[in-house]
Each structure stands twice: as C-alpha cells, then as structure tokens.
Chains A and B, each alone.
Chain A
Amino acid sequence: MDNGIIATVAALSALNGFLAWLLVLAEKWLADYGECTIRINGERSVRVRGGLSLLSALAGEKIFLPSACGGRGTCAFCKCKVTEGAGPLLPTELPMLNKKERAGHVRLSCQVKVKRDLSVEIPESLFRIREYQAEVGLIRDLTHDTKLIRLTLVDPSEILFKPGQYIQLESKPYEKIRQKVMRAYSVASPSSETKSLDLIIRLVPDGICTTWVHRHLKQGERVRFIGPMGDFCLHEGEGEIILVAGGSGMAPMVSLLAEIREKQIRRKVTYFFGALAKRDLFYLDEMHTFEKDIQDFRFVPALSSPAPDDVWNGETGLITTPLRSYLEKENRAAAQGYLCGSPGMIQACIKVMNACGISEDRIFFDPFS
C-alpha cells in the first residue's frame, strides 16, 4: 500500500524532526548563560560571556590569574576567592583546597563556570600583569643546550618589572604539536632596559616549549607573553649578598646584578655558579664586567665534572663545596642568600646556608621550581 508507506515514513520523519528541533531549542536555551557580571574587589565590574571558566573569562578581560596546567585542575595555581555566585564546590576542586580555603570561599578559577553574576577578590599585584606582543630580536647560543633570546617589545612597547621577576612565554604549534603552552622564564636583562628583555632558555628533554624555542623560533618572529610576575627580588639589608645559581638560573641573577650596579649598592656580593664542565659556562665576559663595575663583587664558577681536556684552575666539585668553604670562614648571620636553579641544587644549598648561620627567612628563591 503505497499511501500507507508514504504516510508512515512522513509521520515518523516528522516525529524525529520534531524531537531533534526540540533538542536544538533546548540546547540554545539551556546552554546559553547570557552575559554575566563579575564584580572585582568590590570596585570594578566586568561583563563576560557566560559558560566559560572563571579563569578564561578573566583572561578575556586581560586579568591574568596564574596557571601552570592550562586549566586542567591539576596545579592549583589559579586559586581565587569567590564570595558570591560560584555555586557548589565541584568534585574536581575538593582535593586541591584545604579546610581553611573552603571556609574562606577560595575556589579553583579554572573549574568554576560563570553561569550567573559573581563577586571575586583578586590581589592588586595581579592587575599589573599584562599581555605583550614582541619580536625576536636576537637568538644566540650560550652553551650546547642553552640559548639567549632577546625580545624587542612591540605592543605595548615598554615593560616595567622588578629584577628577579619572570614572564610566561606562549609557544606556537609545531611538528606534531597542535597546542600552545605557556612556560615561565626569568627576565635576564636590567630593569632599566624597558624596550626589550632577555631570556635564557635551556633545552628540557621532551619539553614542549623549549624544543620550540631551540628548533623552530626564528629571528624576527612575533611572540606573545604575559607578565611580569613573581616575588623573587632583592631585599633590603646591610649584610652581604650570596647568589647561587647554575644553568638558566643565571637569568634573574644578571638582572639583580644590573640593579646592584645601577643603584650602586655597597653590599658585598658573591655569585657561586655551578656547572658540569667548561662547555657549560657562559656570560664570563659579562661577569668580568660586573666585577669591575660593582664595588665588591666576585664571580665563583665551580665545575663538578670537568672534561678531561678542560684546562681549569678554578673551583671544582659540587657547588655546595666552594659555597660551604666560603661561608664557614666567618659569621654569616647578617647575610642574605638568593638561589635560582634546579630544586635539588636549591635544597642542597639551603642546607649549607642554614648550617653556616643564615636563617630560613634570609634565604630567597624562585618559587616555581
């Protein structure tokens, strides 16, 4: 019966079509959260598209909360106080917040979805973090696995930062990698240099960003970064300054030394630089210049595993060796220690410094180790 078949097919298609249309309508209505207002610190408000995570919504308004995992909920850097409108605590947030934080309305901003108006509290220091477009001015090999990258700022054309701070550089897709990632690198140039900044980047085996920098980044290429961030900086005091940093840890130290030179700080400064062999040393000329310009500064490199044909008259052994033998000579209670480098090195040096009389509150180091 042709009529019967046509009628049946028509009726069933109409039914399916109706259901599909119903679902499309529902999705439009249910998944659209409209525009929401985020009130910040009780003062300013921003209007954002609903449905995004709080972290993304704020980033869209150029307010950058720190994040190391790209919004996956694993690093807990993006914690933020949400006083209103966050909804119930999500199972993904629970393991990352302690009792005090939960009671204090602290949430993981990468997990909280903006579905209605919110009120948040953000520390003032985060507002100084901005997005920058820069051009690669110079790429120079410093050692077999470390490069100097000089970025000339384009927009904004100047950057104000404190020596010791870092920026987060955004990598670009390459080869099989389709994502962009952000990685932190300390600024290695003087803060008086506002139109460009130097980064010292060491190749990390299987690293996403460092592989991009070492194998694909070209001079003249445009890059994006966020900054400046971080609390590592020179602290007031009368005592001597002990710097310990190896490899790419040299970066913030160069910036600190430039600050010491520019402000003509009269404190005694000693910089212990640990490396494996001669081929891992770099910036020797720059350090000699600092020794000449700064009233009382000594650069002490130490090689822990010199190559057979390295002609070396300087210190040998792990960096803790010359550090300890120097510190032991006198009472160092008034000294300040500044450390940057691998977490293992930092732990070992803190032990030595403590043993030689420098208390924990006088030792400063980069927290993102």
Chain B
Amino acid sequence: MKGLSPGILFFASIFTGNILLTYFLGMCSFLAVSGKIRTAAGLGLAVTFVMAITSALNWAVYTYILVPLGVAYLTTIVFIVVIAAVVQLLEMIVERYSEGLYLNLGIFLPLITVNCAILGAALFMVIRKYTFIQSVAFGTGSGIGWLLAIVALAGIRERINEEKIPPALRGPGIALIISGIMAMAFIGFSGMVQIQ
C-alpha cells in the first residue's frame, strides 16, 4: 500500500491493529505462557525477532521468487518453510546464549513455528501489498504488539488472587475473559489510523 509511512504503520500495528487483541491471532502460546512476566517477555521477544526477520525474508521470497515464477499459489507453504527455518535458528541461538530461557520456554520455542500470528503477518503483508520497508515495519510492530499483549496479560495474571475466582473459571477461563476485556480496551484505539 503506497503512501503509508513505515513509522505510522509501525505504531498502528502495535496499537490500533494489534495482531493479537484486534485480529485474535497467536492465541495458544499467548494463553499458555502468560503465567510469569519473565517467561512471557522472553517468548514475546522471541516472537518479535521471528516476525521481524520472516517479514523481511518472506517479502523477498514473494517478490523475487514466487511472483516472477507465477507460483503465487505456493505462498502459504513457502512462507511456512521459511518461518520454520528461522525458528530453528532461533532455538539454537537461545539454547546457546540463554540456557535458562531455553529451559523455561521448553516446547513453546519450537511451537512459535505454528503461531498463526507470524504466518498471519506475512499473509497480511501480501494481501495489503506492502513495500519492503513497510513489511519490516509492520512485522516488527506486530511482534511488539504481541509482546505487549502477552506481557500485559502476564502482569495481570501474576497479580490476581486465584482464590477469589470460581474454580471452573481458573486458568484458561479467566485468561480468556481478561484477554476479552483487554481487546475491548484496545478498541478505543481504533479509528486513529487506517492501515488497510
């Protein structure tokens, strides 16, 4: 989409078009890893890293390989392959440089591959015909938006007293209700910027 400044796009993808709270993408690890702020922040940063890099890579692959060859119908599969490779790389980096985080995240690190927020951001970029800079801004911003949402949820969950919640709603139940309320709050941002 020509004309939209990357800066505005970056800001918008964090607040007005938050990939998690507005589009509800990337919910499963969001609900599962939002117990502690530290781990949530670690996962959020990992997702941001993956989204930023895969946005750039996927844009390049789409523009210079898929479109010229006329195989745009393979977009989804090829994007997934690229995302999977980047996540593998990330796993190795985390294991080497932050063993504590690697152990805390456990299975959720490789699960980033199937986090639909990442594929979603890549496909949005294609549908909305962003340029390279716009894609990177959008990807990074979406990642930070996701990070913001998960850290906020973790912060809230760490503070609520689970004792006062009816047993049936503890855990995922209350997490979804909180997410819904957070999403409603973010609706307040809508209309500030049009990014579609």
Residues of A within 8 A of B (CB): 4, 7-8, 11-12, 15-16, 19-20, 22-23, 26-27, 30-31, 87-92, 113, 115
Contacts and interface: CB of A to CB of B under 8 A. Distances in A.
B182 interface: no
Nearest to A87: B99
A32 to B, nearest CB: 10
Contact of B69 (A7, A16, A30, A115): A7
A37 B92 CA distance: 23
B85 A22 contact: yes
Contacts of B88: 23
Contacts of A27: 92
8 contacts: A4-B69, A8-B69, A8-B70, A15-B65, A31-B95, A31-B96, A91-B103, A91-B104
B74 A12 contact: yes
Contact of B99 (A22, A30, A88): A88
Given A16-B81, A91-B100, 14 more contacts: A4-B69, A4-B70, A8-B69, A8-B70, A12-B71, A12-B74, A15-B78, A19-B82, A31-B96, A87-B99, A88-B100, A91-B103, A92-B103, A115-B96
A89 B103 CA distance: 11
A26 B89 contact: yes
Contacts of A31: 92, 95-96
Nearest to A18: B85
A108 B128 CA distance: 53
B61 interface: yes
B112 to A, nearest CB: 15
A23 B61 CA distance: 17
Nearest to B96: A30
B54 to A, nearest CB: 12
Contacts of A22: 85, 89
Contacts of B85: 19-20, 22-23
B93 interface: yes
Contacts of B71: 8, 12
Contact of A12 (B70, B78, B92, B95): B78
Contacts of A7: 69
A15 B61 contact: yes
Instruction: Report whether over half of chain A's contact residues are helix, strand or loop; otherwise say mixed.
Output: helix
A30 B103 CA distance: 17
Contacts of A113: 99
Interface string B58-91: 0001000100011100100010011001001100
Nearest to A112: B99
A349 to B, nearest CB: 44
A11 B65 CA distance: 7
A8 B72 CA distance: 11
Contacts of A88: 99-100
Given A8-B69, A16-B81, A90 B89 contact: no
A200 to B, nearest CB: 42
A337 to B, nearest CB: 45
A88 B103 CA distance: 12
Nearest to B85: A19
Interface in B115-165: none
Interface centre among B82, B89, B95, by most A CB within 10 Å?
B89
A290 to B, nearest CB: 55
Contacts of B99: 87-88, 90, 113
A19 B93 CA distance: 16
A26 B81 CA distance: 17
Contacts of A11: 65, 69
A115 B100 CA distance: 14
B87 to A, nearest CB: 10
A15 to B, nearest CB: 6
Interface string B32-58: 000000000000000000000000000
Contacts of A87: 99
B172 to A, nearest CB: 23
A8 B67 CA distance: 11
Contacts of A26: 89, 92
Contacts of A115: 96
